[in-house]
Amino acid sequence: MQQPEHPENGAAQHYIKHAIVAQVEAGLLAPQASASPKYLYDVLGSRLFAAICELPEYYPTRTEAAIFDRYAPQIAKAVGVGATLIDLGAGNCAKAAKLFPTLHPSHYVAIDISETFLHEAVAGLRQQFPHIAMTCLGMDFSSELELPNTIGRERRQFFYPGSSIGNYTPLEALKFLLRIRKSITHDNSAAQDRTGGLLIGIDLIKDKAILDAAYDDALGVTASFNLNLLLHLNRLLDADFDLSNWCHRGFFNPQQNRVEMHLEARRDVTVRWKNGGLRQFVRGERIHTESSYKYTQESFVALLEQAGFNNIQTWCDPDQWFMVCHAQGGA
């Protein structure tokens, strides 16, 4: 039998839902309409992104995986065995699971905004790796990174693959890295805390044609992934987005060093949602759904140093398309 919800928990959930609705509405009503990329990742969106990672055009996943395979002993030496591996944006947990045989984490903490999808993935991992303690956390780590007390402070190794940090502007990325470092160390950091760190994947600046294809594939899987955001907004806002009125646009903006994803109105359209919300879009008007900033090796290492990380090690593929970094977070 389901236990009655504690009144305080219900109030907290109501507050969170209200805050989400307010954020989404503010984005849709802004002069340049936008939606946070975190709303791309409902259950279906998470599965579509897993499919994107298998596409021939989408090089980041396989290039990053090849770096991990090629440099596994060096990466394992940098990270150390037996750590608490904290997987940010874990998704299907496949990337972290591939590291288990070399890193041998004592505790795996999977964090993702799509909690239902996450529990499914971790349930399978528990059967494969019964000796590893595992924890699921459904949370939006983009705005805060306070972990429960059940996650020990000693030897925290954060794992943020796939160049997901590119979804932040460089200033936001710096603030995010500062939050990670704070979560690794105490103000009065003990010696063992200094072994904590961050293992992160970074997409590097490259030819525009390669980047354009990676975010607008021939099969249209990325288009479906982007359009699915509108279905998610329909549920969040009780809105009436009609997918047939919208099309996907994905391209590299060299002036900003970022790939942009948009949803573009095919015709003049009015969208309505609960409590009288309304936005009129003219044909060709866009909703900005994601940015993915690209870095040079030097610029990202400088960002890590600015956030207070040290002992930074880097590994790249032969074409210099992608970089994996490990940095220690101790003082």
Give the rounded distance of the alpha carbon of 8 from its chain centre: 29
Q: What is the reported pLDDT for 17?
A: 77
- Domains of the chain are 7-53+210-293 (no CATH), 71-206+294-328 (3.40.50.150)
Residues in the chain: 331
Q: What is the reported pLDDT for 113?
A: 80
Least confident window among 56-70, 94-108, 111-125, 224-238: 111-125
Q: Structure pTM?
A: 0.86
The pair of structure tokens assigned to 63 is: 């290039």
Are the beta carbons of 329 and 184 closer than 8 angstroms?
Answer: yes
Q: What percent of the chain has pLDDT over 70?
A: 92
The answer to whether the Cα torsion of 82, 84, 87, 90 is positive or negative is positive
pLDDT in tens, 211-221: 999 999 999 99
Give CA–CA dist 91/95, Å, rounded: 9
Q: What is the reported pLDDT for 325?
A: 98
- Across the range 259-267, mean pLDDT stands at 98
Give CA–CA dist 142/275, Å, rounded: 28
Say which amino acid occupies 286: R
Give CA–CA dist 71/75, Å, rounded: 6
Give CA–CA dist 9/21, Å, rounded: 18
Give CA–CA dist 13/15, Å, rounded: 5
Least confident window among 150-159, 221-230, 307-316: 150-159
Instruction: Give the distance between the most distant pair of CA atoms in the chain.
Output: 61
Least confident window among 2-11, 142-151, 258-267: 2-11
Give CA–CA dist 58/46, Å, rounded: 16
In degrees, to the nearest 5, what angle opens at C-alpha 299 toward C-alphas 293 and 301? 110
Q: What is the reported pLDDT for 14?
A: 61
Are the beta carbons of 93 and 110 closer than 8 angstroms?
Answer: yes
Q: What is the reported pLDDT for 15?
A: 58
Q: Is 140 left (phi over 0), alpha (psi -120 to 50) or beta?
A: beta
Report which of 122, 79, 296, 74 is spatially closest to residue 205, judged by C-alpha positions.
Answer: 296
Q: What is the reported pLDDT for 145?
A: 85
The pair of structure tokens assigned to 16 is: 């969170």
Q: What is the mean pLDDT of the chain?
A: 91
Predicted confidence (pLDDT) at residue 187 exceeds the cutoff of 70: no
Report which of 103, 113, 220 is spatially closest to residue 167, judged by C-alpha positions.
Answer: 113
Residue spans of alpha helices (H) in the chain: 7-29, 43-52, 59-70, 72-79, 94-103, 115-128, 170-184, 208-214, 221-237, 297-306
In degrees, to the nearest 5, what angle opens at C-alpha 14 toward C-alphas 8 and 15? 90
pLDDT in tens, 125-165: 999 999 999 999 988 888 788 898 889 888 999 999 999 99
Are the beta carbons of 166 and 293 closer than 8 angstroms?
Answer: yes
